Amino acid sequence: MPLQDFALAAQAAAYELFLLPGDYVLSIVARTPEAAILADGGALLLRNIASALCWLLIIVLIWQLLRLIRNIVRVLLAVWLTVEFRFEQGLRNLRTRLVCAVRLLFAGRRIQRIERAFEVEFDDIDVAVLRNGAGLRPGYTLSVPELAGRLTIRPSLVQKSLDKLRKQKLVECAFGSTDGFENYRLTPNGITLLAVWRRNTS
């Protein structure tokens, strides 16, 4: 049967392939006048043993080579991860330094503005406006008519005070208006200045 013939041929080819390393080694080692003994049938056992040892050696060499490649890959991966970590750490440190420098710059400017604000003379209306602004809930704004009603003064005086505080960067315009007057809210400088006043007077 063709299938059976093919199987026998494949088995014979595999066996010849198995004997190939042993035959090669024996052909190198047995270069003596006694090498003719290999032609005898008794040499088949020697060929099988030599081939088995050769294949075992090949398997061991391949296994060691794979281990060596695996170790090299691990070392290269560790080096790459170390370099990547150092690079990212350097970027994070640089970013942190830049952020700190920017914060110090803006903090220095804010301190300068607060110091300039201390040089300005504020009257009772200015202080009352700042205190009312600090007492607002989040999302609420200062309204000129409402402040005028609370302080029982003319809206023009409240607007004048707000303009003065806005010039010193202590208040800023907020969204919306009330009765034709703009709404205002305290800036961080205004909150800081009011906190310093309270600390000094406590």
Residue type, 42: G
- Contacts of residues 144-147 at CB distance under 8 Å and 24 or more positions apart, as own/partner, are 144/178, 144/179, 144/181, 144/182, 145/178, 145/179, 145/181, 146/178
Q: What pLDDT, on the 0 to 100 scale, is given for residue 130?
A: 81
**Section 54-59 average pLDDT:** 83
* Integer Cα distance of 68 and 34 in angstroms: 41
pLDDT tens digits for 129-178?
Answer: 888 877 777 777 888 888 888 888 888 888 888 888 888 788 888 877 78
Among 39-48, 76-85, 152-161, 177-186, the least confident range: 39-48
The CATH code for residues 121-201 is: 1.10.10.10
Q: What pLDDT, on the 0 to 100 scale, is given for residue 39?
A: 45
CB-count burial class (<10 Å; 0-12, 13-18, 19+) for 158 = buried
The token pair that represents 92 in the structure block: 């994070």
Most trustworthy range by pLDDT among 66-70, 123-127, 137-141, 171-175:
66-70
* Integer Cα distance of 31 and 24 in angstroms: 12
Q: Which residue ranges make up each domain of the chain?
A: 121-201
Predicted model pTM: 0.41
Reading phi first (left if > 0) and then psi (alpha if -120 to 50, else beta), residue 117 is in alpha
Identify which of 94, 179, 176 has the alpha carbon closest to the alpha carbon of residue 140. Answer: 176
